[in-house]
Amino acid sequence: MLNVSRVPFSAPGVYREPLSPLRALTGVRMDVCGFAGVAPRGPVRVPVVDEHWPDTRPCTEAGRPTMRSVAVAVESFDEYRRLYGGFEGPGLLPYAVASFFEQGGRRAWISRIVHRHGGAADDLGVATGVLPGVSPATTLRARSEGGWGNSLRATLALRAIPATFLLAETHRLTLQSSAEIYAGSLLRLTFADGSRLFRFVDVLDRGVDEDRPRKVFFAFLDSAVPTPPESVEVVEADLDLDDNDGRRERFEKVGLHHAHPRWLAQVLCWQSQLVWPDAAWAEFRLTPDSIDLVVPVISYTVDEPQFANGEDRYPDITPDDVIDATRLTEDDAGEGVNCFVQVDEIASLCIPDLYSPEALERVQSILDPVSLAGPTFERCVDVDTTPLKQGAADDDLSGLRLDPEVSLDAIIELQQRVVTWAGDVRNFVVLLDVPPGLNQNTILKWRASFDSAYAAAYHPWLTVARRDDERDNLIRVPPSALAAGVIASTEWKFGITHGPANVLASEVVDVDDRVSPRRHDELHPQGVNVYLRERDGIRLTAARTLSRDSQWRQLSVRRLMIMLRRALETQMQWAVFETNGPRLRHELTQLLRVYLRRLFQAGAFKGATEEEAFFVNCDAVLNTASTLERGQVIAEIGVAPAEPIEFIVLRLTRDGDGTLTIE
């Protein structure tokens, strides 16, 4: 085929071919899962950054709004642990995320749930501490609420670096252009009598040396000094932060004035993951307490720590904090699970702490075990080894506590709200857990409460034993978390058309309910995806939705349609403001056909030919004169999704000679 170029050839030479826009449809990622739950630490109440509150201003100034819930991406459980902590809290979120990655998941978005108190009460659970060595009082706030912040330590190291100058005057210094002095730099000036003073550089201007034709800088001091100094030193500061749990941060060469390019408060705002600067000093300046730059050595103890007042306000959390009913159907980023609406790559959603069916065993400290040893033999004593429960503790999720045997209707109502919200958003599938401890009839009653292709249900709960968990017992984990990992792993290995089932779960000890074949025969047609204990392990046997419509019963079909919609919405934006005519309609038709043809060849659609598998209409019948007047172009797409095989029938035949044949 002859390619006719639009390059206007004239005289012989080299011509640049005009660039044409790349117009092609590709697949989108469908393996990413969102998790919302309770963690002992992690990003919450994050300051808003927009055109009204840009990141060039102090992040903690009065009046700046904050987002209670934020979604943060992690790509391993180690990364999750660094941001959100481990298994020390009362929530199931860390167990769910760990199980997701163990099944083969590669990327997850996390939203930590905390209670919306409102006003100043939101900050009451945040640990605060004072940074020694500078004035005025420099209060630092833990990055998020929780008792973890009480273990923080912050130290500031000050040092003076000799600075060269061309001329010193009482109000300014003349510097070489290569001098590392900035507006906001703190200078220590030494005079002929040995005295010293601090001065900040107020303004730094370019200039020209009157004696030589060279460029110089004029550093104007914030206030004049009695006599020109004999020597000048630049004061630099290094801040070290340590949470005493393996997380450390070091910020070098930070400034002590708000005009400095590395102003301490600004650096903490946008780089630290441990502390925020308090608003009381974030817009001003700090001065060392000692002209000799000696920071006082303070020994902090358990009774008098540097940071205090951090609280784990777990009992305050309620289901409304998770679902955010006040902004349930809005398109903008909300709180709770609604913060996931703006994350386009999330394909599945798991909420392990939507409610709390039971309290986890409390984490016991093993630092000071009680010893029964003595100098003489004594009678044996019985030691009480009964594990302490969190039911009456301050770190219990009492606000989320719903016993499935007593409060099943309340649990169903919560899950229905989530399913309704997912149906409104229509961008991902919510993975639900059948409440634990239900008998067969009650499970079927629970199932009857749902009818949505944007939800899938899993049963039973699974027990795990983690080597990195201080709780020395089995933990019951929501089955949806492992299903999310199976979905992600299947997507990576086989693509969107493969049903995410028939997979052995990793790192699982047992099932909470051993479903018999007869019960399985009842649950599977109802769309309840069951884990069965087999000889080789725990197997996820199905991947169906909770839809009553047979067209949407397969989870792979719903995920395929979500992927198609995402691809078209995100990759067809080039068509906006194109000339609306036959040429555009032809280009759209060919582009869509090529994309659907690739999916057909990958087995996404059923049918022996392309005509049986899909169609694309974008003709003058759909795009009438009135449509063109409104500036619209309409393309109609139809597909016949292929469903995965669920049943394989084997025919066993016995011949007259006794031979057995399997067909």
Helix (H) or strand (E) holding 411: helix 408-425
Q: Is position 12 within any domain?
A: no
Bond into 315 cis (ω within 30): no
C-alpha span between 585 and 35 (Å, rounded): 41
Q: What is the pLDDT of residues 499-555, one digit of tens each?
A: 999 999 999 999 999 999 999 999 999 999 999 999 999 999 999 999 999 999 999
Residues 6 or more apart from 339 whose CB is under 8 A from it? 67, 69, 70, 71, 111, 333
Task: Give the gyration radius of the chain's Cα atoms.
Answer: 33
Say how far residue 416 (Cα) sits from the centre of its chain. Answer: 24
C-alpha span between 643 and 65 (Å, rounded): 48
Sign of the alpha-carbon torsion through 175, 181, 182, 187: negative
Q: What is the pLDDT of residue 329?
A: 45
pLDDT score of 625 more than 60: yes
Range of the structural domain that residue 601 is part of: 575-663
pLDDT score of 477 more than 80: yes
Mean pLDDT (the chain) is: 88
Which of 515, 544, 571 is a domain's end point? 571
Residues 6 or more apart from 30 whose CB is under 8 A from it? 347, 491, 496, 559, 562, 563
Q: What is the pLDDT of residue 570?
A: 83
527 and 419 share one domain: yes
Count how many domains the chain has.
Answer: 3
Q: Is position 13 within any domain?
A: no
Which of 519, 540, 571 is a domain's end point? 571
Q: Is position 477 within any domain?
A: yes
For 545, other C-beta atoms within 10 Å of its C-beta total 25
Between 177-181, 316-320, 440-444, the lowest mean confidence (pLDDT) is in: 177-181
Contact 73, 20 (CB under 8 A): no
Q: Is position 328 within any domain?
A: yes
Contact 427, 566 (CB under 8 A): yes
pTM reported for the whole predicted model: 0.87
Q: Is position 295 within any domain?
A: yes
Q: Is position 349 within any domain?
A: yes
Which CA distances in Å does 631 have to 624, 625, 626?
11, 10, 9
Q: Is position 645 within any domain?
A: yes
C-alpha span between 77 and 94 (Å, rounded): 8
Burial letters 579-609, b for 16+ CB under 10 A, else e? ebeeeebeebeebbbebbeebbeeebbeeee
Enumerate helices (H) and strands (E) in the chain, giving the number of each. Answer: 12, 32
191 and 327 share one domain: no
567 and 580 share one domain: no
Contact 123, 68 (CB under 8 A): no
Adjacent-strand bridge partners of 401: 356
Q: What is the pLDDT of residue 497?
A: 85
- Greatest Cα pair distance in the chain: 120
Which of 519, 550, 571 is a domain's end point? 571
User: Residue 57 maps to which CATH number?
Assistant: 3.40.50.11780
557 and 618 share one domain: no
Residues 6 or more apart from 93 whose CB is under 8 A from it? 35, 36, 37, 38, 39, 84, 110, 112, 352, 353
83 and 176 share one domain: no
Pick from 50, 54, 42, 114: which is nearest to 79 by CA? 42
DSSP letter assigned to residue 255: B
224 and 271 share one domain: yes
Q: Is position 408 within any domain?
A: yes
301 and 352 share one domain: no
432 and 328 share one domain: yes
319 and 262 share one domain: no
Strand, helix or coil at 182? coil
114 and 140 share one domain: no
567 and 579 share one domain: no
Percent of the chain at pLDDT above 90? 65
- By CB atoms closer than 10 A (0-12, 13-18, 19+), residue 120 is exposed
Pick from 598, 308, 352: which is nearest to 458 by CA? 352
Residues 6 or more apart from 196 whose CB is under 8 A from it? 188, 189, 190, 291
562 and 651 share one domain: no
**What are the backbone dihedrals phi and psi of residue 219, each rounded to the nearest 5 degrees, phi first?**
-100, 105
Q: What is the pLDDT of residues 11-53, one digit of tens each?
A: 777 766 655 554 666 678 899 999 999 999 999 999 998 888 8
Pick from 26, 30, 60, 17: which is nearest to 493 by CA? 30
Q: What is the pLDDT of residues 92-140, one digit of tens each?
A: 999 999 999 999 999 999 999 999 998 889 989 999 999 999 999 999 9
Bond into 136 cis (ω within 30): yes
